[in-house]
Structure formats: C-alpha cells, structure tokens
Copies of this chain bind each other. A is one copy, B any other.
Amino acid sequence: MQHYTAPIDDMMFQLAAFGYDAVAKLDRFEAFDFETARMFLEQTGTLASDILLKSNRNGDTEGTKWDPKTGEVTIASGYEAGHQALAENGFYGLTADVEHGGGGAPISLGTLAKEMLMSGNKSLSMCPGLTNGLIEALEAFGSDEQKEMYLPKLATGEWTGTMCLTEAHSGTDLGLLGTKAEVHGDHFKLSGSKIWITWGEHELSDNIIHLVLARLPGAPAGIKGISTFIVPKFLADGSRNGISCAGLEHKMGIHGSPTCVMALENAEGWLVGEPHKGMRTMFIMMNAARLFTGVEGVSLGEIAYQAALDFAKERRQSRAMAMGKREAGQAADTILVHPDVRRMLLDVKSTTEALRGLSVFISANIDLSTDHPDEATRQEADDLVALMIPIMKAYGTERGFENVSDCMQVCGGMGYTVDGEIEQYLRDLRIAMIYEGTNHIQALDLVGRKLGLSNGRLYNVFGKKARQAIEAGKTHEETAPFAATLAQTLSSLDAATVGLGKRATEDAEVMGASASTYLTAFGLVVCGFSLLTQANHAVKANTENQRAKLGVTRHYFERVLPEIEGHFAILSAPHQSITMFDDADF
C-alpha cells in the first residue's frame, strides 16, 4: 500500500534558506507570507497523499485506452476525482495572473506544490503541469482577446492544455517539423501529425487547448520558420475541430498519462505571437517544463526514500557489524543498522534535499526576476535562472533515477515487486531524462549557450552566490569544513570551465563529447552550494532540524561530492577516442 508524508517542514526550511522573505515582500505576492505558505503547502500535501495517491496504482495497472472508431481516450479509474480535486483547489491556474482567474501564487510555492502532486500521482499531475505551461505562454504572447477567451477556463481546469511539438521525424531537431498552416480568413487551417502529446486527448475537461508548432506558407526552413498556434479541440460554436487522437504510445511507465499521436486535418488554429517567432513561445513553456521535470527527480526520489526507510526500519536481517549496535533478544537487527543501507539512504536523502533546495532557489529567482522593483536584481535573478534550469532538469532527473534505483536496492527483492511500489517510481521517472529536451540537450544548452552569454556573466553570477555562501560558512565551526571543500571544488570547476572553453574553440566536437560530463560535475557543485546554504541557515537560525541538516551536509561533502573527481578526470582527457572512432567498428 503506497503512502506519502508531505515533507512540509523541510519545504518551509528551504523557503527560509533560499530567500523567500524577499519574494513575500514583493507587491504581487503580499498575500503569501510564510504562514499562508505553510497552510497552502499543508493543504497541497493532504491532496497529494490522500486523493492523488489513491489513483496512482490504478493509473499504472489500468493505463489508458483508445477507441479507434471514435478516437476517444479513456483514463484510469479515480483520475476524474483527482482532476476535479486539482481543479477545485486551484492547481490548474495556481501561479497564473489573478487578472485572468489565476491564483497569483509565487513560483516558489508552485514548485513545491508540484513536487508533492508528482509524488502523489505523476501521470495525473502532468495534466495541470502542461496547462500551466500553456497559461504562461499565453500570458507572455497571447493577444488580449486570446487571454480573455482561454485563460479563465484554463485557470479553473475546465479546459486543459497541451504542447504539440514533436513529429515522427522531428524530435530533438524541431527545425525539421513539417506541420503546415494555411491562411483561412483571420486565422489558419493546420494539417500534419504530432507524436508524444501528453494528455492530448481525454474526457476529463470540457475542452483541450493545444499549442501547436507549425509552418506558415513561405516560412523559412529550420527553426526560424516555426510559428505557434492555438488549436482547440472544440471550436467556439461547440463543433469539433479537425484535431483528433490517432493512437496511444505504450510506454515503460507513466501508464496513467495518455501519450497521444495527434492528427491535424484542416484544424482551425489561431496564431500566438508573431509569425515565425514560435520558438520564443515554445521556450516560455519549455523553461517551466524543464524546471518541473527536474523536480520530478526530487518528487519520486522523496516518495521512494520514504518507502525504503520504512522497509529498513522494519526488516530484520543479519547482525550489526558493531557489537554495541546489536539489539538484545533479537536474532537479527533491522537493516537500518547496516552501513551500506545507511549509505544508500543518505546518498538519496542528501541529494534529494540538495535538489529540493535548488528548485526553491531557482523558483525564488524566477519570482524576483519578474517582480522585483530593481532592474539589477531582476537581471541577476534572471541570469541565475537561465544557468540553473538545464542543471536542474538534467542533474535532477539523472540523480533522481539513481536515487529511486538505490531505494529499490535497499528493499531487495521486495523493491522489485509490483506490490513494493518503488518499481513504478523507477519506471515513471526514467522518461524524465528524455522528455522536455534530453539531458544532453540540457548540457549543450548549458555549455553552448548559457556559459557563452556576455563573456561568462551567468557563470560569474553563480560564482558570486557560491562564494557568498562559502564566506558565510567559514564563520561557523560546524559549517567551515563544508565551505572549505566547496571553495576547492568550485576552483576546480572554474578550471574545468576555462579548459573546456579553450579546447572547444580548437575543435567543435569537444563540446558535444564533454557537455554531459561537465553538466554532471556542475550539478554536484550546485548541490554542494545548495546544502552549504541550508547548513548555514540551520546554524544561523538555530533551526530544529539543525543536527539533521548538518548530518546530511556532512555526508554529501564527504561521501557524495568526491564523485566529481571522476568527472573532472574524464573532462581533462582527450576526446578523440569518441570522435575519431571508425564508424565501421561500432
């Protein structure tokens, strides 16, 4: 039986550690002080651990069903109740503008809410997740008419949204996409075929609003000729539009979420934003999606950790290695006493809390970047967000997958069975390393775009923040060793960054060969920054969780961060073994 305890205390701690006070002071978020935040998180946690979790197994076992005659898609039992609860509690428009019916919550809280909803039911929570992305895109680029027409219905969950990007021959490389838009009066008619459309068809909401990437007549080739269109399932007069589900994918996990092939046949669509500037709209949706995909690693890492910890506290096998730890009157000790079990649990706990902190750090900076009165503050916050998002997405999912696998290992054979619940989390999470831009695409975004911007400005902003945390850490005996280690590792990262840049100018392929390894190394440093920031706060504010935070931080710096030595060693190696390997020899 699955269960989930929402980690409210750690979430409140993270908000305090990562500057939520500055967010709560912004005019737009004055209703969201710490006390309100806690109430909100508690309510969300209850929704996740009660209503959402209840249908999570149904989704996995029943899956989704497509009727080839009608194109209708049937969703698993219990999902409708979950969707209704999400809608009624305002999760479809949680962070949307109040002006158009949204909840007006800061992203900081939205992110933590997402984490809990995904723990409860990842497949179902993807539906409001995509709708949020569509809302953000329309807020940024929709016309006033479009905003009025769509946002209020989307914010209440009466309507839901999708993002229609991928085509069979065009995934990572969106420039190849071929869906066409023909002029039709004041709007357009679209034809083509899209794949991997999450929640592309279902009966939970009255309408589905698709955001579709397509080409206008005479559009330039490649990504410079892509425009974005709104294509609703039902038109304003209630008639069915020419977009329908032509099949479902059968996947390793997220069985509860319908992954649709969508056929567009003269589907009526309305241009969003300027012609040929569709990538701008897409990136608005993508940025949010990438942050939340990274959070999926935290989310399933957390619930898998809870399952593994419960098991470790109950399961008795073998005696403790240290005589003093053997429980009298028992033939065996609980496995929580075995160092290797503790090692795995602490690896998971420390990185999960590090990544949760990172998600709050990014989110608070998103809030500051849009609403802080000072331009320099906004710019700096925006820089941090741009740099951290590919790391959160890729490292969050890479580590999250390792973490869920470690939790399975703690549970042994029980972890591998369907009744053991963890196996579903492992299957559900694996896709997160692939979708919303594969993890390597994140690495190329980091190395190829973000590092190069304005002479390394983004990297320097992060360096400044990290050095502030290091300075703060040095002032306390408990945190000083962590600060010293982070300072050293940051210098090594600086050197690796300079080295990579230098070699990349000599050979274009260096970047491709090393970007993924570089991102992993950067991810480890960022997790160190996150935990040092948390430890500093725990000591400074003398928080209740101080001993625990210092314990996980110590574990991270002593037994997890050193992994980075392997990544640095690989980064300094030649890349020709990869690029010059003869194709015939594969």
Fill in one digit per residue for A505-533: 1 if any B CB lies within 8 Å of its CB, else 0: 00111011101100000000000000000
Q: CB < 8 Å: which of B318, B342, B578 contacts A343?
A: B578
Contact (A423, B176) CB under 8 Å given A558-B574, A578-B343: no
Fill in one digit per residue for A413-447: 1 if any B CB lies within 8 Å of its CB, else 0: 10111110001001100110111001110010000
Question: Do B434 and A317 have beta carbons less than 8 Å apart?
Answer: no
Q: CB < 8 Å: which of B253, B340, B418 contacts A250?
A: B418
Q: CB < 8 Å: which of B434, B569, B585 contacts A547?
A: B585
Question: Do B417 and A251 have beta carbons less than 8 Å apart?
Answer: yes
In the assembled complex, which residues on chain B have CB atoms less than 8 Å from the CB atom of A433? 409
In the assembled complex, which residues on chain B have CB atoms less than 8 Å from the CB atom of A434? 408-409, 412-413, 415-416
Interface band, chain A: 35 or more
Complex interface: stretch among A89-97, A166-174, A294-302: A166-174
In the assembled complex, which residues on chain B have CB atoms less than 8 Å from the CB atom of A419? 250
In the assembled complex, which residues on chain B have CB atoms less than 8 Å from the CB atom of A243? none
Q: CB < 8 Å: which of B321, B555, B585 contacts A511?
A: B321
> CB of A563 within 8 A of chain B?
yes
Q: Give chain A interface residues in 562-586, CB to chain B under 8 Å.
A: 562-570, 573-575, 577-579, 581-583, 585-586
Question: Do B322 and A579 have beta carbons less than 8 Å apart?
Answer: yes
In the bound complex, CA of A373 to CA of B562 (Å): 48
Q: CB < 8 Å: which of B172, B340, B418 contacts A412?
A: B172
Contact (A554, B577) CB under 8 Å given A430-B408, A562-B569: yes
- With both beta carbons as reference points, the residue of chain B lying nearest to A323 in the complex is identified as B508
Contact (A509, B321) CB under 8 Å given A173-B332, A252-B423: yes
In the assembled complex, which residues on chain B have CB atoms less than 8 Å from the CB atom of A508? 321-323
Q: CB < 8 Å: which of B253, B317, B574, B585 contacts A551?
A: B585
> CB of A345 within 8 A of chain B?
yes
> CB of A336 within 8 A of chain B?
yes
Contact (A439, B409) CB under 8 Å given A345-B586, A346-B578: yes
- Contacts A251-B418, A551-B585 supplied; 10 other A-B pairs, CB < 8 Å: A173-B316, A196-B413, A336-B583, A339-B575, A340-B443, A342-B513, A342-B581, A408-B434, A416-B434, A555-B578
Pairs of residues from A and B, 8 with the lowest C-beta to C-beta distance, nearest first: A566-B566, A339-B512, A562-B569, A548-B585, A252-B423, A555-B577, A339-B513, A173-B317
Using a CB–CB cutoff of 8 Å, the interface residues on chain A facing chain B are: 166, 169-173, 175-176, 196, 221, 249-253, 309, 316-318, 321-323, 331-332, 336, 338-340, 342-343, 345-346, 349, 401, 405, 408-409, 412-413, 415-419, 423, 426-427, 430-431, 433-435, 438-440, 443, 507-509, 511-513, 515-516, 547-548, 551-552, 554-555, 558-560, 562-570, 573-575, 577-579, 581-583, 585-586
- Can you spell out 15 A-B residue pairs with CB atoms less than 8 angstroms apart? A170-B317, A173-B332, A221-B331, A252-B418, A321-B509, A322-B508, A336-B586, A339-B513, A409-B440, A415-B434, A547-B585, A551-B577, A551-B582, A558-B574, A562-B569
